[in-house]
C-alpha cells in the first residue's frame, strides 16, 4: 500500500462525520532572497551563492539554471545605457541531485547577468531569480596579471587607451560595450568574444593578448621583409597600429628606413580619428579646419563618415596616441 504523507485524520466515533483535510507538503526557498544582487570579485572570482530549499519530499530533485545578459552599448562614460540590445548572451544547464542545496556553479565559468534557477520536487517546482554584477580590478591588479603573460610589452598601455584599464561600467556593474561590439577591458571585437570573455576581465585580457601577439608577429614580418632592420619603437608602433587598423610605416627608399605613413593626418584631440590627406575633400586643410568640419559627426561612429565628412578611425593615429602617452 502506498504511504500517504500529510494526510488528514478522522475521529474514532463512526457515527460522527468529520471533514478530512490534507495539507500541502512543506515547500519553500530558504536562500537566496528573490531578486538578490551579487558581485563578481575584483579578482574575477564568482560570489558564493547558496540556493537552498525546504521540502518534505525525499528523493531526487531536478535542478536547472539559466543565465542571460542583454548587451547594450555603453561607451566609457558612467551613464545609463539607452540604445537597443546589440547581442544576447545565454548559458544554461540541468542536473539531478538528492541535495536540497546547491552552491552556484556555472560550469566553472565567470558569468554575470540575470540568473534563473528552478527545482522540480516531485510534482511541484520552485523557481528563484537573482542578478550578478561585476566590479573593476585596480590598475595594479591588471598590471600584475599582464606581467604574468609573456610577450606583452606595452599591452597594459594599450588597455589604458582602450578602456582606461576598466572592464565594467560601475553604474550598472555590466561590461563596457562599444557601439561596434567591442567588449570589456581589451575591447574584444574580432573574433567575437564568448560570454565569459565578456564578463571575466582576466579571460578578456588573455584572449586579447593572443590577438596582440598575432599583430606583433605580423608587424615583425612586415618590418623585417627583405632583411630590413627596425627599432623596438617602430615595432611597438606597427603593432599598435595593426591592433586598431592597418600598417603604420612605409619604406622610404631614399632614407633607407621605415617612416610613418605620410598621407595620414590625425586629430590629436582624439584617440584614433584621422584623415587621409590624399582625398580631395581633405587636401590643403589643416588639422583644426578638418576637426571643425567633422567633429559634430564623431559621435555617430562610422555612420558619421561621408563624402562631406571624410574622416576615419585610423591605426596610425591610434598608435601615435598610445605611444606618446
CATH number at residue 43: 2.60.40
Domain range for residue 38?
27-133
Asked if residue 190 belongs to a domain, the reply is no
Please give the pLDDT value at position 4. 36
Question: Considering its fold, how many domains does the chain have in total?
Answer: 2
In DSSP terms, 250 is beta-bridged to: 259
**Residue in 42, 28, 213 with CA at minimum distance from that of residue 134:** 42
Domain boundary at 133, 161, 183, which? 133
Please give the pLDDT value at position 1. 35
Q: Looking at the predicted structure, is the pLDDT value of residue 204 above 60?
A: yes
Asked if residue 46 belongs to a domain, the reply is yes
Asked if residue 145 belongs to a domain, the reply is no
Please give the pLDDT value at position 25. 53
Domain boundary at 133, 155, 183, which? 133
pTM score of the predicted model: 0.79
Q: Looking at the predicted structure, is the pLDDT value of residue 325 above 90?
A: no
Please give the pLDDT value at position 3. 37
Give the whole-angstrom CA distance, residue 271 versus residue 275: 13
Asked if residue 9 belongs to a domain, the reply is no
Domain boundary at 92, 114, 133, which? 133
Please give the pLDDT value at position 220. 96
If one compares 207 and 190, the residue with the highest pLDDT of the two is 207
β pairing state of 124-133 and 37-39:
parallel
**Going by C-beta distance under 8 Å and a sequence separation of 6 or more, which residues neighbour residue 100?**
52, 53, 54, 55, 61
Asked if residue 57 belongs to a domain, the reply is yes
Confidence tier at 190 by pLDDT (50, 70, 90):
confident
User: Could you identify the residue written with the cell 609573456?
Assistant: 150
Amino acid at each position: 500500500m502506498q504511504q500517504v504523507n500529510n494526510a488528514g485524520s478522522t475521529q474514532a466515533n463512526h457515527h460522527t462525520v468529520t471533514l478530512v483535510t490534507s495539507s500541502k507538503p512543506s515547500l519553500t526557498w530558504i536562500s537566496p532572497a528573490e531578486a538578490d544582487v551579487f558581485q563578481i570579485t575584483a579578482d574575477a572570482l564568482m560570489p558564493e551563492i547558496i540556493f537552498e530549499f525546504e521540502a518534505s519530499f525525499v528523493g531526487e530533485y531536478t535542478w536547472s539554471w539559466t543565465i542571460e545578459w542583454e548587451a547594450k552599448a555603453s561607451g566609457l562614460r558612467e551613464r545609463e545605457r539607452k540604445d537597443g540590445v546589440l547581442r544576447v548572451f545565454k548559458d544554461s544547464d540541468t542536473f539531478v541531485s538528492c541535495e536540497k542545496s546547491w552552491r552556484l556553479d556555472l560550469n566553472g565559468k565567470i558569468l554575470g547577468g540575470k540568473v534563473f534557477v528552478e527545482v522540480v520536487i516531485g510534482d511541484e517546482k520552485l523557481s528563484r531569480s537573482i542578478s550578478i554584477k561585476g566590479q573593476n580590478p585596480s590598475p595594479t591588479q591588471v598590471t600584475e596579471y599582464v606581467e604574468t603573460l609573456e610577450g606583452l610589452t606595452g599591452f597594459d598601455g594599450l588597455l589604458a587607451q582602450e578602456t582606461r584599464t576598466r572592464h565594467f561600467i560601475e553604474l550598472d556593474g555590466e561590461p563596457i560595450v562599444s557601439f561596434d561590439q567591442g567588449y570589456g577591458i581589451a575591447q574584444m571585437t574580432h573574433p567575437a568574444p564568448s560570454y565569459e570573455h565578456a564578463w571575466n576581465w582576466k579571460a578578456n585580457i588573455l584572449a586579447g593578448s593572443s590577438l596582440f601577439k598575432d599583430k606583433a608577429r605580423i608587424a615583425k614580418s612586415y618590418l623585417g621583409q627583405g632583411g630590413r632592420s627596425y627599432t623596438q619603437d617602430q615595432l611597438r608602433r606597427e603593432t599598435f597600429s595593426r591592433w586598431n587598423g592597418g600598417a603604420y610605416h612605409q619604406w622610404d627608399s631614399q632614407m633607407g628606413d621605415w617612416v610613418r605613413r605620410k598621407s595620414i593626418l590625425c586629430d590629436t584631440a582624439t584617440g584614433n580619428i584621422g584623415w587621409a590627406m590624399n582625398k580631395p575633400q581633405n587636401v590643403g586643410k589643416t588639422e583644426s579646419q578638418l576637426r571643425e568640419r567633422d567633429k559634430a559627426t564623431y559621435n555617430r561612429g562610422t555612420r558619421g563618415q561621408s563624402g562631406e565628412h571624410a574622416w576615419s578611425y585610423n591605426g596610425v593615429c591610434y598608435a601615435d596616441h598610445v605611444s606618446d602617452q
